[in-house]
Structure 1
Amino acid sequence: MDRAQLASFLRTRREALQPEDVGLPRGRRRRTGGLRREEVAALSGMSTDYYSRLEQQRGPHPSEQMLAALARGLRLSLAERDHLFQLAGHAVPHRTVRADHVNPGMMRILDRLHDTPAQVVNHLGETLAQTAPAIALLGDDTRHSGLARSLHHRWFTNPRARQLHPAEDHQTQSRLLVAHLHAAYARDGRGSRAATIVDSLVTASPEFAQLWREHPVQSAYCPPKRFVHPEVGALELHCQTLVDPDQSQTLLVFTAVPGSESDEKLRLLTVIGAQLV
């Protein structure tokens, strides 16, 4: 681990980021040219003291998980992320793991949607980043670990994953998720994370096993989705998508018809989401 170079790299990337780049207000009394240390720490989900010690060349040896969090917080490109790992004395993440790293351009868009339910998911149904309103609508889907990180896996193994949708929509949702996983498996092949999820679900869920044998194919059309939220009740939302083909990630943005009852409820969830920050 090269503490001096790691500290210098973190500092230069922090100073190059502007508050507007990450959806933060600049304020009138800002003396720092870029972001403050406490802002990077908050964006990376770590304490200010931990981050500050890294910049001061006296911090602990950061784990791969902490480095990945720093890469997201500092909006690093894949090449910059690899460099960060090398400076910290870790092997560069394998290409198949890079689906965990949100494209910096995608993150910049997400930062500007702070008052809208939006999230970035990879091709395995794993949520990588969410706005506060998305957490208020869907829950914190980034908290899961292991196979449960994938919505595809949770849907067929954890009944709680289905509570947000009306029972009459479950069959359609099941088929849609299996179609998505078929596409991921076809792309990644045997030995991949997609294959691990499939192998687990074929054993754990007869429903999944039956649908998997039917080979459903995903459609480009995304119909309106119905939700049953514990605080605001029923909503019907449209889901717009922005796809990053290189990293197999998708930005999902949930909207409602203006003036509709769902629109009013979505506005209420935005207030609830702001309280979660």
Structure 2
Amino acid sequence: MARQDLAGFLRDRREKLRPADVGLHADTRRRTPGLRREEVADLAHMSVDYYARLEQARGPRPSPRILDALTGALRLTPAERTHLFQLAGTSPTPPAGPVRQVRPHVADLLRRIPDTAAIVTDATYGVIAGNPLAYALLGDLGAKPNLARQRFLGRPYESSSSEEFAHIVVSRLRRAVDRYPRDKTLARLLAELRAGSEEFVHIWDTNPVHDPGHRVKSITHPQVGRLRLNCDVLAIPNDDQQVVFITADPGTPAARALRHLLPAG
């Protein structure tokens, strides 16, 4: 029964995914919706025969490595990943690392709010998506943008909430370490922050507990000067990500400044 439950879960998840969900080109000749078995096998770096046997309840019990590969290929949420491990009769291992891809519907949301600066950050404060106004407002975040790196090692804009944000960053990174102890990218980021920022080390040692929420902050932008802005965070629990919305009160100088920063076209 366990093998059949696992097979049914894999088949159901595969058939619900669209090619665009996993970065594949949609083939107009497809007779049925969903991904093909060979596509899932390729995404999971395993043979088509092995994956087919799993879906047919004929394969051996998959190892944690195989289950993690299927988690990525089928774009499973953390809850679905735990369920997959349970169906396989295996205790869930810590995820290899945080989700660093933004889902298409979230990326589309950013495009629908051109008058609001918005970015998406992963569990390590890496910026994985943003709209043009956000990049115009926040400036150059580097080739691999990360707000933690910018706050402690870069030259962020002068902000009234800089000290508070430092504690929020450290609190989130501490949670990320607990969730993703095997993530090498996170380990490198923490080593970089410890080596380059005494402030980071001090805050880390205090073990702060902070959650983002609605905040009003003032920043000094090099082009448009001092801005009073609202900052609101929408959590995406399934991917351990956050969408950060930055707005100005209507009719204020800050609102006019944001319109000035909005890229043409």
Tell me the TM-score range normalised by the shorter chain.
0.5 to 0.7
Aligned residues: 195
Match of 2:158 among 134, 150, 165: 165
- Where does the alignment leave 5 or more consecutive residues of structure 2 unmatched? 1-18, 29-33, 47-68, 74-94
The question of 1:184 aligning with 2:156 is answered: no
In structure 1, what is the Cα distance between the partners aligned to 2:184 and 2:126?
15
More displaced stretch, 187-196 vs 256-265: 187-196
The question of 1:201 aligning with 2:157 is answered: no
Q: TM-score, normalised by structure 2?
A: 0.62
Quote the residue 1:210 is aligned against: 202
Quote the residue 1:134 is aligned against: 134
Contact 2:218 2:227 in 1 (8 A): yes
Distance 1:85 1:102, change over 3 A: farther
Distance 1:121 1:85, change over 3 A: farther
Match of 1:86 among 42, 45, 49: 42
In structure 1, what is the Cα distance between the partners aligned to 2:178 and 2:97?
17
Residue 88 of structure 1, CA deviation: 11
In structure 2, what is the Cα distance between the partners aligned to 1:85 and 1:204?
42
Aligned pairs for 1:81-120 within 5 A: 83=39, 86=42, 96=96, 99-120=99-120
The question of 1:248 aligning with 2:237 is answered: no
Residue 104 of structure 1, CA deviation: 2.0
In structure 2, what is the Cα distance between the partners aligned to 1:254 and 1:134?
8
Q: Report the secondary structure of 1:253's partner residue.
A: strand
In structure 1, what is the Cα distance between the partners aligned to 2:120 and 2:203?
26
In structure 1, what is the Cα distance between the partners aligned to 2:192 and 2:115?
37
1:220-242 Cα deviation digits (max 9, x unpaired): 43321221111111111112222
Residue 244 of structure 1, CA deviation: 1.2
Q: Identify the structure with the greater helix proportion.
A: 1
Contact 2:97 2:183 in 1 (8 A): no
Distance 1:106 1:135, change over 3 A: same
Identity across aligned pairs (percent)?
27
Residue 263 of structure 1, CA deviation: 1.4
1:74-97 Cα deviation digits (max 9, x unpaired): xxx9x89x9489279898868645
Match of 1:12 among 27, 43, 46: 27
Instruction: Give structure 1 regions of 4+ aligned residues with deviation exceeding 6 angstroms.
Output: 87-92
Q: Report the secondary structure of 2:116's partner residue.
A: coil
- Where does the alignment leave 5 or more consecutive residues of structure 1 unmatched? 14-76
Distance 1:197 1:140, change over 3 A: same
In structure 2, what is the Cα distance between the partners aligned to 1:187 and 1:87?
24
The question of 1:155 aligning with 2:151 is answered: yes
In structure 1, what is the Cα distance between the partners aligned to 2:198 and 2:181?
22
Q: Which has the larger radius of gyration?
A: 2
Quote the residue 2:6 is aligned against: none
What amino acid maps onto 1:126 in structure 2?
A: G
Contact 1:226 1:234 in 2 (8 A): yes
Q: Report the secondary structure of 2:25's partner residue.
A: helix
Residue 116 of structure 1, CA deviation: 2.3
